[in-house]
Amino acid sequence: MSSSITLSAATRQNLLSLQDTSALTSTTQNRLSTGKKVNSALDSPVNFFTSQSLSARSNDLGGLLDGISNGIQTIQAANQGITSIQKLVDQAKSVTSQALATQVTTSGSATTAYAAGATSINLIKNGTAVPVTLGATDDIDTAIGKLNAAIGAGSFSKSTDGKNLVLNAKADIEFKTATDQTALGFAAPASGATAPSYGTAVPAVAQSADLTVLGVSTRKELAAQYNDLRTQIDQLAKDASFNGVNLLTGTDSKLSINFNENGSSSLNVKGVDATSTGIGIAAIKQATDADNFLLDSDIKSNVNLLKSASDSLRAKSSTFGSNLSVVQNRQDFSKNLINVLDTGSANLTNADLNEEAANSQALSTRQSLGISALSLANQAQQGILQLLR
């Protein structure tokens, strides 16, 4: 058997008002506790799904920032490598300058007077064979004229008594055989002496004790330093990598950097060959090869190569610098765009805590007033009950 309780219109109205206030209070408290005015699609489908879309894109771009950061470091590693290689090239320039400043000379006086005789003297000037034919009746002055015509004016002269040959050449002068030296009055090489092995492209015999060659060994050491610097350039280029990517060891290497979530915006940074071969620095050939810092012309040729290498490095550095500027700009743009997306997403779902706090206070007051009104309505009914008694 069902029963019902009859409420007065005033009581029922007050009760409904309290229920509305309670619902609003619950909503306000939920917003205060979560900080959001939209917690699910039920609260606001448009705001909820739009906010999710903005947050998803923000997260995607945030994931790309790591790749962009790695790209920046890779380019900086390459640029730093080029800067260090340029310093090595500058050191190589200093070596070539020292080599040019080092004068190569051959000097000495014959211990035996010159004696005319038909013979062929096989001289070697800076690694090149220079044969001189002397006649049977050639006196010392004629011999000097022929010898100087072969190796350079003023190289040969005679002693103060006019009997012995004197050599003062601005070059490395060597001889093919011991006879070539003794025929001019120079002492034969010492027994067991070794033939010069540097700066000579043709076989030569050991130098006479009467003769002194200066500058050749110094230039040999400088050529070795030059080759060592070239090796260091290659090693430095190989070490200028970041996270397994090296942009200095060849044009086959490439760095790809994505700037957006679908890959439609990106930058491909092509590698360069910054090794000694790539920038055109050839090794100095030593031992029996003529291309060995012995000749000023060879050194000057390498000076030109080093200048071209510096120009090439500057061009490569400029390209990397331009790419680095682009990537850094995109990194800043992505960070700012992420902030915009996060702000937009928050604006759609976040609650205004100041407003909600004020609402909570107002609802609390309203609830107190509602309870008081309900109490007054009940008191009216209690008055009627007293009359019935």
Q: What separation in angstroms does the CA of 234 have from each of 74, 81, 238, 263, 270?
A: 18, 11, 6, 35, 19
pLDDT at 280 (0 to 100): 94
Work out whether strand 105-109 and strand 266-270 pair parallel, antiparallel, or are unpaired: unpaired
pLDDT at 190 (0 to 100): 84
Report the candidate in 165, 188, 156, 169 with the shortest Cα–Cα distance to residue 125: 169
* Greatest alpha-carbon span in the chain: 173
Q: Which CATH number does 58-102+227-343 carry?
A: 1.20.1330.10
**What pTM was estimated for this model as a whole?**
0.76
Q: What separation in angstroms does the CA of 334 have from each of 75, 265, 329, 339?
A: 19, 12, 9, 9
Q: How far is CA 337 from the centre of its chain?
A: 29
Is 142 in contact with 135 (CB distance < 8 Å)? yes
Supply 141's token pair. Answer: 């002055």
- What is the residue-wise DSSP string for 34-93? HSBS--STTT-HHHHHHHHHHHHHHHHHHHHHHHHHHHHHHHHHHHHHHHHHHHHHHHHH
Count CB-CB contacts under 10 A for residue 356.
Answer: 19
Q: What angle do CA 301, 304, 280 make, to 5 degrees?
A: 95
- Each residue's pLDDT expressed in tens, for the chain with a length of 389 residues: 455 655 556 666 666 766 676 666 666 666 666 667 777 787 778 888 898 899 899 999 998 999 999 999 999 999 999 999 999 999 999 999 999 999 999 999 999 999 988 789 999 888 888 999 999 999 999 999 999 999 999 999 999 999 999 999 999 898 989 999 999 999 999 877 776 666 555 677 888 999 998 998 888 889 999 999 999 999 999 999 999 999 999 888 899 999 988 888 999 999 999 999 999 998 887 655 455 788 888 899 899 999 999 999 999 999 999 999 999 999 999 999 999 998 888 778 766 667 667 766 776 776 666 666 656 666 655 665 565 55
Q: Domain residues of the chain, as ranges?
A: 58-102+227-343, 105-214
pLDDT at 234 (0 to 100): 96
pLDDT at 169 (0 to 100): 95
pLDDT at 332 (0 to 100): 95
Q: What are phi and psi of 5, to 5 degrees?
A: -110, 125
